[in-house]
Amino acid sequence: MRILQVTPRYPPHMGGVETVVQRVSELLGAKGVDVTVYSADLERCLPQEQRLNGVLVRRFAPLFGDPLYFPEPKFIRSLRQEKAEIVHVHNAHTLLPFLAALSKRREQRFLLQPYYHRFGQSSFRDSLLRLYKLEFKSIVLPRTDVVITNSIYEKDTFCEDFSVSGKTVLIPLGTDLEEVKRVRWAPEEPKRILYVGALKPYKNVDRILEGFAWLVKKKNVDFRLVVVGQGSEYDSLVSLAHRLSVDRLVEWKHGLSREQLLDEYARASVFVLLSSLESFSLVVYEALIIGVPAVILNFGALTNLVSAGLAEGVNSLDAREIADALLRSTKKTYVRISGEMNIFLDWQDYSRRIIGIYNRLLEQEFRGTQRI
């Protein structure tokens, strides 16, 4: 079996999509599957081609980077020459599914894993996305054999917007379940509020800062905010923390090892994520598995966690509401999330289910919508 994974970025660039592609590719490789990854993230410090943990990675320079990831012309030429039996494309919010669908050969099977959250990161991007959806319906989806969604929310919204329920399956995303369960939660004083993720506008880290400032000033509590991540908003966020007079209470970190990140979870009293543009969030689930209370939006992909009593929800991005939720989360007892809740899978089980889809596609046995 020869598989081609197509993704906007691949490690050392890290994020939710990158983690999924890396873990699945490496586990497939360990099972004897021939895996090649194409990405559109070639930079001066990265090789054009390398083998990482049994996976052949080929990087192409982007003519347009985030969020479009439109690669250089030789990406198309190389894609058409690939002998892969299955092309597995990630992230419907970039141009890569469109280019891969146009380039696939008739005999190749085509999988789409969209990580779909319905809206663009700004009003301008949302306008572009609405236009792109028309091309998706007419070009990408007719060439797609299976759409793999990772949450009930994503499956429902994708099917509503594209009417492809007959091609859609749900596989809850994987996580390092045993590794995370071994972490002992030992929150420190002063209490630490933890955010992990990209520093981009749609992540609403500015609203987290405003809520944190309200918390420490109006509630007169001794808390710290730890922000783990990097991105285009870093400088403006640092400036905002200074204007809010909380810069001495904020720790900015990036490039952490896995062990260092797990240590941040263990030391935190609260985890916070206020992004509405998520189809699933590995970092929220990791925090909850460890036992860290989480504050999240009470709408979108994670709202089921609030209704199940697993996390504290906010209904707006108002600073006072955020501050109140952060404070409540330090005083309440929440149900600890577990693997028996069928919300997520460990990576081994996740990769087995992906291989099951591959096998059925190659055997032409795939029929209709089902939960795998």
Q: What is the pLDDT of residues 101-115, one digit of tens each?
A: 999 999 999 999 999
Residues 151 and 272 in one domain: no
> pTM of the prediction?
0.84
In the predicted model, is pLDDT for residue 284 greater than 60?
A: yes
Residues 334 and 366 in one domain: no
- Per-residue pLDDT tens digits for 126-180: 677 778 888 888 999 999 999 999 888 899 999 999 988 889 999 988 888 889 9
Residues 163 and 211 in one domain: no
Of 371, 366, 370, residue with least CA distance to 144: 366
When the pLDDT of each residue in the chain is averaged and rounded to a whole number, the result is 91
Residues 185 and 321 in one domain: yes
88 contacts 3 by C-beta, under 8 angstroms: yes
Residues 358 and 321 in one domain: no
Residues 14 and 145 in one domain: yes
What pLDDT band is residue 199 in, cutting at 50, 70 and 90?
very high
Residues 326 and 367 in one domain: no
- Average pLDDT estimate for 70-81: 94
Torsion-angle region of residue 342: left (phi > 0), alpha (psi -120 to 50) or beta?
left
Burial of 107 (0-12, 13-18, 19+ CB in 10 A): exposed
Give percent above pLDDT 90 in the chain.
Answer: 69
Report the distance separating Cα 325 and Cα 211, nearest Å.
9
How many structural domains are present in the chain? 2
- Average pLDDT estimate for 266-291: 92
CATH code at 119?
A: 3.40.50.2000
pLDDT score for 15? 84
246 contacts 208 by C-beta, under 8 angstroms: no
Residues 157 and 195 in one domain: no
Q: Among 118-127, 280-289, 322-331, which range has the highest average pLDDT?
A: 322-331
Task: For residue 93, give its domain range.
Answer: 2-173+345-371
pLDDT score for 274? 97
- Per-residue pLDDT tens digits for 8-63: 999 998 888 999 999 999 999 998 899 999 999 999 899 999 999 999 999 999 99
- Per-residue pLDDT tens digits for 299-310: 888 888 898 889
Q: Which helix (H) or strand (E) holds 252?
A: strand 250-253
In the predicted model, is pLDDT for residue 210 greater than 80?
A: yes
Residue type, 193: I
Residues 75 and 138 in one domain: yes
Residues 222 and 355 in one domain: no
- Per-residue pLDDT tens digits for 319-364: 999 999 999 999 988 877 765 666 778 899 999 999 999 999 988 7
pLDDT score for 124? 66
88 φ, ψ to 5°?
-115, 110
Residues 252 and 209 in one domain: yes
Residues 161 and 228 in one domain: no
